[in-house]
Amino acid sequence: MKTEEKIRILFVDDDLFLAHIVSCALREADYDVHCQSSLSGIVACAREFNPHVIFLDVEVGNSNSMTIVPTLRLTVPDAMLYFVSSHTDGETISKGINLGVEGYLKKPFDTTEMIAYIQKYTPTVSGPQLLMIGNLSIDLNTQNLSYQGKFVRNMSRAEIRLLNMFATHPGQPLQKHEIIAQVWNDKESRSEQTLYNVLSELRKVIAIDPTVHLITTPKKGYQLILS
């Protein structure tokens, strides 16, 4: 197992030549890249690859990718999402921005511009920084979760933010509205359903440690209990 997790980039565009250029440039910059040429299976792909950043062409084949953004936000809620397109009219750009994406990259673009966006919104690996909860430890740089020193899986940034919030308020009930306000920023999908999805995944993960419990307290919220 590698000690450092590379930043994962999902690039979706039906222009295979452009996809080749982008993937070569990003791999040379030491990113983990996956290219997809259609919207078919894109949700399953995003769920499995769990990208940190998604670059999505506005028109992929005969499909308008703006329609898939809400589903992608629910599937990978902490991924940074950018549109890329040769459609530079104000109406199209406005629609994209109103969907809450982080940016709109106009074609043709230089790959150095793309890398600058990636670096702006993704963490810089500088050394191990651990979040400890019971017998669980999360490396905040690699996002790797370990139990008693053994690797379990890679965590999403939303999962880490939520765990960190619980860890700084042990035994204290946290209400839905305050969790959503602190875990997700204004540009990210921030609904109760998104919270429920992340909580469900967290409960599966921490079940490996019998000393850590994430419970629901009626009319009070959620709380982390360490035994």
Domain that holds residue 19: 8-121
Do 52 and 82 belong together in one domain? yes
Which of residues 186 and 204 earns the better pLDDT score? 204
Is the pLDDT score of 3 beyond 80? Answer: no
Do 102 and 165 belong together in one domain? no
CATH of the domain at 169: 1.10.10.10
Do 107 and 25 belong together in one domain? yes
Average pLDDT over residues 139-144: 78
* Of the listed ranges 8-12, 75-79, 172-176, the one predicted with least confidence: 75-79
Instruction: Tell me whether residue 5 is exposed, middle or buried, using C-beta atoms within 10 angstroms of its C-beta: 0 to 12, 13 to 18, 19 or more.
Output: middle
Name residue 179's amino acid: I
Tell me the per-residue pLDDT of 11-69, one tens digit each, with 9 for 90 and over: 999 989 999 999 999 999 889 999 999 888 898 899 888 898 999 998 888 888 888 88
Peptide bond into 108 cis (omega under 30): yes
- Predicted confidence at residue 26, as pLDDT, reads 92
Last residue of a domain, one of 81, 104, 121: 121
Average pLDDT over residues 190-216: 89
Q: Are strands 130-133 and 63-64 parallel, antiparallel or unpaired?
A: unpaired
Q: CA-CA distance, 93 to 85, in Å (whole number)?
A: 9
Do 29 and 109 belong together in one domain? yes
